[in-house]
């Protein structure tokens, strides 16, 4: 069948016709809101590299957690900024550090809201790398113990899901074992299975002061040129016990997201990262793009590509827009 019998425009003529044939929809339940927790009291301070996003102290973070919950966002993911950084990232696995305290505060005031914790060391290490350093290299196996301790500490604080983002080989199995041994066999692991060595993380590294002090992350995060390798990463993490997998960054890697979802048919998340957020906000500020439409169009792209949910700095706001309609 071809023109003039087939005229695709027939199904685009009115809003109700378009609604009827729409293939993908955004819903507040599609989003996870990242939050940054800092030491101190009564702090809600705008992050220079992420306008509209804030550093929150533990006593104030409940404000934003409640806003997310009210908007229908199912969960938040926490990142911490420590009071001091050291060689082995001690505060990552300190039960009384900022993230652990924020988990307890949020679970106390908004118990239904899922609290996910990012399990990594780079925010906590003086060298800024995601693992333990041995002879100027990031030592894969020496990092296991630190990651396991971090995940356990988060689980003890009450985290609902732990999300390792370090990209060490074999860490999912180690974290699974540690959680099970600690009696947390019901806590799922959201693995940053496919995480590229990306320049799009720039604003995040400014926000948490986690830029590597020597070298870069290309020795553990993936080469942006590689697609087949992503499937291998996912396969390994699933074998090791990942309950959900993530592809990161977002828009620039939609091909990977789509292939991963199609090949494995497992719960797959996408992370629309800080650089993507910053680019939208910067262009919108200059009046070069329609901010709301670009945000919703970008988020819809993740759904269309196959994401089950999206970690996005626009989560609370987008969910509020969707709720209004």
Question: Of 31 and 204, which CB lies nearer to ligand PBG in the complex structure?
Answer: 204
Q: Quick one: CA torsion of 135, 138, 144, 148, rounded to 10 degrees?
A: 120
Q: Which does 273 bind (CB under 5 to 8 A by kind): Zn ion, ligand PBG, none?
A: ligand PBG
Site residues for ligand PBG per CB under 6 A: 118, 120, 122, 130, 165, 201, 204-205, 210, 273-274
Least separation, in Å, of the C-beta of 131 and ligand PBG? 10
Question: Of 20 and 163, which CB lies nearer to ligand PBG in the complex structure?
Answer: 163
Question: Of 122 and 316, which CB lies nearer to ligand PBG in the complex structure?
Answer: 122
- On whether the CB atoms of residues 47 and 274 are closer than 8 A, the answer is no
How far is it between the farthest Cα atoms of the chain?
A: 70
Least separation, in Å, of the C-beta of 280 and ligand PBG? 13
Rounded to the nearest 5°, which phi and psi values hold at 201?
-85, 0
Name the residue among 286, 245, 284 with its Cα closest to residue 263: 245
Least separation, in Å, of the C-beta of 67 and ligand PBG? 20
Tokens 């180690």, residue located = 174
Distance between CA atoms of residues 32 and 291, nearest Å: 20
Least separation, in Å, of the C-beta of 211 and Zn ion? 11
Question: Of 118 and 317, which CB lies nearer to Zn ion in the complex structure?
Answer: 118
- Residue 44 catalytic? no
Distance between CA atoms of residues 80 and 123, nearest Å: 7
Question: Of 120 and 147, which CB lies nearer to ligand PBG in the complex structure?
Answer: 120
Site residues for Zn ion per CB under 5 A: 120, 122, 130
Distance between CA atoms of residues 50 and 95, nearest Å: 28
Least separation, in Å, of the C-beta of 17 and Zn ion? 47
44-47 and 50-57 beta bridge pairing: antiparallel
Return the sign of the alpha-carbon dihedral for residues 199, 295, 122, 189: negative
- Residue 108 catalytic? no
Q: Which does 201 bind (CB under 5 to 8 A by kind): ligand PBG, Zn ion, none?
A: ligand PBG
Question: Of 8 and 307, which CB lies nearer to ligand PBG in the complex structure?
Answer: 307
Q: 3-class SS at 221?
A: coil
Least separation, in Å, of the C-beta of 98 and ligand PBG? 15
Instruction: Give the Cβ contact number of residue 171 at 10 Å.
Output: 25
Q: Which does 153 bind (CB under 5 to 8 A by kind): Zn ion, ligand PBG, none?
A: none
Q: Which does 68 bind (CB under 5 to 8 A by kind): ligand PBG, Zn ion, none?
A: none
Name the residue among 270, 190, 203 with its Cα closest to residue 237: 190
Q: Which does 33 bind (CB under 5 to 8 A by kind): Zn ion, ligand PBG, none?
A: none
- Catalytic hit among 85, 248, 261, 303: 248
- Catalytic hit among 85, 195, 261, 303: 195
Instruction: Give the Cβ contact number of residue 229 at 10 Å.
Output: 13
Active site residues per annotation: 195, 248
């Amino acid at each position: 069948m071809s023109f003039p019998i087939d005229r695709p425009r027939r199904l685009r003529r009115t809003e109700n016709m378009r609604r009827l044939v729409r293939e993908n929809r955004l819903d507040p339940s599609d989003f996870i809101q990242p939050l940054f927790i800092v030491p101190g009291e009564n702090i809600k301070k705008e992050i220079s590299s992420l306008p509209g996003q804030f550093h929150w102290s533990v006593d104030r973070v409940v404000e934003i957690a409640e806003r997310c919950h009210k908007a229908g966002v199912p969960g938040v993911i926490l990142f911490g900024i420590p009071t001091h950084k050291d060689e082995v990232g001690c505060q990552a696995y300190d039960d009384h550090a900022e993230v652990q305290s924020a988990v307890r505060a949020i679970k106390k005031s908004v118990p239904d809201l899922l609290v996910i914790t990012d399990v990594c060391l780079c925010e906590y290490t003086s060298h800024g790398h995601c693992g333990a350093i041995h002879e100027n290299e990031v030592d894969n196996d020496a990092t296991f113990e630190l990651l396991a301790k971090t995940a356990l500490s988060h689980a003890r604080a009450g985290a609902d899901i732990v999300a390792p983002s370090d990209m060490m080989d074999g860490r999912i199995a180690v974290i699974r074992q540690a959680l099970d041994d600690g009696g947390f066999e019901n806590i799922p692991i959201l693995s940053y299975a496919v995480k590229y060595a990306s320049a799009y993380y720039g604003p995040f590294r400014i926000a948490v002061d986690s830029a590597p002090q020597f070298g870069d992350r290309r020795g553990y995060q993936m080469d942006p040129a590689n697609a087949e390798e992503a499937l291998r990463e996912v396969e390994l993490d699933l074998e090791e016990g990942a309950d959900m997998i993530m592809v990161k960054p977002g828009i620039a890697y939609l091909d990977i997201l789509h292939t991963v979802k199609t090949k494995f048919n497992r719960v797959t998340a996408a992370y629309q990262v800080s650089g993507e957020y910053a680019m939208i906000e910067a262009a919108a500020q200059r009046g070069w793009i329609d901010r709301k439409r670009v945000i919703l169009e970008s988020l819809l792209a993740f759904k269309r590509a196959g994401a089950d949910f999206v970690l996005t700095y626009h989560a609370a706001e987008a969910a509020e827009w969707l709720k209004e309609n």
